[in-house]
Amino acid sequence: MGRFAPSPTGRMHAGNIYASLVAWLIAKSQGGKMILRIEDLDRDRSKEDYISQVMRDYEMLGFTWDEGPYYQHNRDEAYEQAYRKLEAECGVYPCFCSRSDLKAAASAPHLGEKWVYVGTCKHLTEEERAVKSLDKNPSYRLIVPDETYSFVDQVQGAFSQNLAYECGDFLIRRADGMFAYQLAVTVDDGAQGVNSVVRGYDLITSSPQQMFILEKLGYPAPTYAHVPLLVNQQGKRLSKRDKDASIDLMLETFGTVEALMGHIAYVGKIIEREEAVTPSDLLECFDMKKYAHRVMDEVGRLEPIIWQ
């Protein structure tokens, strides 16, 4: 079971479309199903309009799903239960560190946004915690072991991370009570039977954390495939600010959905010649091994793809 997991914070852009396309192709070429999960954990940023828009975009692009849409806004009970289990098994502590890390916890940490938490708040005494609590509500960190989590990524090969030294205790609940991305996404993947996670390369450093949570909750780890990022001419990950990669403008430029899909598939090295295609056409010729080979450079590194 694969998944589309869009955060409904605006229209789709070329980068989202590309990652969704590869996720769909991998799941379908391996005989799997897809679920659609709207990641509306952050209720302030997930407007009702964006949710219906993102679903219309998926449909228009020819992406089909077999289950869902599931949501995150109504899953607090499941997240709470998982939180309690993790607290009992691994330990959790309140963290009073700055606002910027609290903010970062709600959304997926994209490449370059990850840093190792050095455990500043881990050894506070009960008294110190009580004093600090008078000033601000804490967020909560999950204590990680000195253990290395490894997997073989379907695109880029072996990847591993020592949780204590390359990640540190990480946030699973924000100061406002909202559960963090790492917890919610993992609880959902486990409960929804997701066994194939395909997403942008910028989330690869989250996978060991998610494997750790899955293990503690008694779920098996999925297979992972982290696909190259589409970047703009300045080498930055495409975002909603790159207007020429926005779905509306691209449709104007390319005229049809199929021409747009063909361009994304060509730039993204899924096909070797640019032509108008649907996701189903691509499925007929999709070959995971050849694709993985094309997106790696000669020394086995995954290169970002410049959007043009």
Q: Which residues of the chain form contacts with ligand GLU (CB under 6 A)?
A: 5-7, 39, 108, 185, 199, 203
Segment holding 159, helix H or strand E:
strand 157-162
Residue 275 DSSP SS3: coil
- Please report how close the Cβ of residue 133 comes to ligand GLU at its closest, in angstroms: 31
Segment holding 35, helix H or strand E:
strand 34-38
Q: Specify the residue, 108 or 257, whose C-beta has the smaller distance to ligand GLU.
A: 108
Count the neighbouring beta carbons within 10 Å of the beta carbon of residue 128: 12
Q: Specify the residue, 59 or 274, whose C-beta has the smaller distance to ligand GLU.
A: 59
- Please report how close the Cβ of residue 71 comes to ligand GLU at its closest, in angstroms: 12
Q: Specify the residue, 19 or 270, whose C-beta has the smaller distance to ligand GLU.
A: 19
- Please report how close the Cβ of residue 127 comes to ligand GLU at its closest, in angstroms: 38
DSSP letter (8 states) at residue 204: G
- CA distance linking residue 35 with residue 63, whole number of Å: 11
Residue 88 Cα distances to 171, 208, 215, angstroms: 16, 20, 14
Q: Specify the residue, 108 or 111, whose C-beta has the smaller distance to ligand GLU.
A: 108
- CA distance linking residue 269 with residue 307, whole number of Å: 12
Q: Specify the residue, 7 or 246, whose C-beta has the smaller distance to ligand GLU.
A: 7
Tokens at residue 295, please?
Answer: 């997106």
Angle at 98 between CA 9 and CA 183, to 5 degrees: 50
- Please report how close the Cβ of residue 48 comes to ligand GLU at its closest, in angstroms: 17
Count the neighbouring beta carbons within 10 Å of the beta carbon of residue 174: 22
- Please report how close the Cβ of residue 108 comes to ligand GLU at its closest, in angstroms: 4
Pairing of strands 139-142, 92-95: antiparallel
Q: Specify the residue, 39 or 242, whose C-beta has the smaller distance to ligand GLU.
A: 39
Q: In what order do the strands lie in the sheet with 139-142?
A: 92-95, 139-142, 170-173
- CA distance linking residue 295 with residue 308, whole number of Å: 16
- Please report how close the Cβ of residue 185 comes to ligand GLU at its closest, in angstroms: 5
| Side chain identity at residue 211, one-letter code | M
Q: Specify the residue, 121 or 194, whose C-beta has the smaller distance to ligand GLU.
A: 194
- Please report how close the Cβ of residue 275 comes to ligand GLU at its closest, in angstroms: 29
- Please report how close the Cβ of residue 273 comes to ligand GLU at its closest, in angstroms: 30
Angle at 256 between CA 251 and CA 261, to 5 degrees: 80
Q: Specify the residue, 15 or 168, whose C-beta has the smaller distance to ligand GLU.
A: 15
- Please report how close the Cβ of residue 194 comes to ligand GLU at its closest, in angstroms: 10
Q: Specify the residue, 121 or 185, whose C-beta has the smaller distance to ligand GLU.
A: 185
Pairing of strands 139-142, 170-173: antiparallel
- Taking a C-beta distance cutoff of 8 angstroms, is the pair 212, 163 a contact? yes
Helices marked H in 167-239: 181-191, 207-217
